[in-house]
A and B are shown apart, each in its own frame.
Chain A
């Protein structure tokens, strides 16, 4: 029994690890979705292996829940998949995210400043008289 347990767990873990690599690098959201589906199924098979080795029946409802949730998840993600920009193919590094955030913050500040200036100008103009 121990040999079977080790064999099963080794194969499942290797499969899950490779699917995880695809989740990290997969060029589109659908590739990631397919890889995550594999991980869900590996979870189901792994729970079945564990329950079979220890002869426990409490795990069986968990299998039902996992089968349900996996279906709902993949359908939901597939429904909202769309044409992605080129740079969404890979996960950004921390430095890139920080640079992007800083740029966005700067743009927002500039926009707010411009807004304040124009509204102040408008106030002056409307306060000065009705020659507008």
Chain B
């Protein structure tokens, strides 16, 4: 019985990996591809680890797998955020494809609020040649 549950978990995790492969191949731009790739990153890996834990049923292995799961859930949002930020700052995100674009609005707002203000002035436009993740005042 438990083996059946484990098998279902493993197959579901593999299916998510397949879906991510299709998505990253077919979707048109960076954000859509990131959307597709985040499915196996969290749910797929968690399902695979759950299946493995159910199948192994040994204490130390299950604790190590829980560690992997927690680490994956902690680090995936950080990495995805960094990738999206780098994409935005290097102009790889086309604004006409977006439904909501709060970051550009906020940047424009910050620009108009601080006319020649102190510190580093807001960069012109979307493209920031200085490299992503390097400014001392993150937006």
Contact = CB atoms under 8 A, between A and B. Distances in A.
* Secondary structure of the B contact surface, majority rule: helix
Interface in B50-100: 51-52, 55-56, 58, 60-61, 64-65, 67-68, 71-72, 75-76, 78-79, 82-83, 85-87, 90-92
Contact of B25 (A9, A21, A81): A21
Given A18-B22, A57-B61, A64-B67, A28 B30 contact: yes
B21 A44 contact: no
Contacts of B51: 48-49, 52
Given A41-B40, A44-B45, A82 B90 contact: yes
A11 B61 contact: no
Contacts of A31: 24, 30, 33
Contact of A64 (B37, B64, B132): B64
**Overall SS of chain A's interface:** helix
B86 A78 contact: yes
Contacts of B19: 15
A14 interface: yes
A41 B18 CA distance: 11
A38 B11 contact: no
A30 B92 contact: yes
A41 B61 contact: no
Contacts of A60: 52, 61, 64-65, 68
Contacts of B90: 28, 30, 81-84
B24 A4 contact: no
Contact of A22 (B18, B33, B61, B132): B33
A15 B7 contact: no
Contact of A45 (B25, B34, B48, B65): B48
Interface in A45-67: 45, 48-49, 51-52, 55, 57, 60-61, 63-64, 67
Interface of B: 6-7, 10-11, 13-15, 17-22, 24-25, 30, 33-34, 37, 40-41, 44-45, 48-49, 51-52, 55-56, 58, 60-61, 64-65, 67-68, 71-72, 75-76, 78-79, 82-83, 85-87, 90-92, 127, 129, 131-133
19 contacts: A11-B15, A18-B25, A19-B25, A30-B30, A31-B33, A34-B30, A34-B37, A38-B21, A41-B20, A42-B40, A45-B40, A51-B56, A52-B55, A60-B61, A60-B68, A61-B64, A71-B76, A78-B132, A83-B129
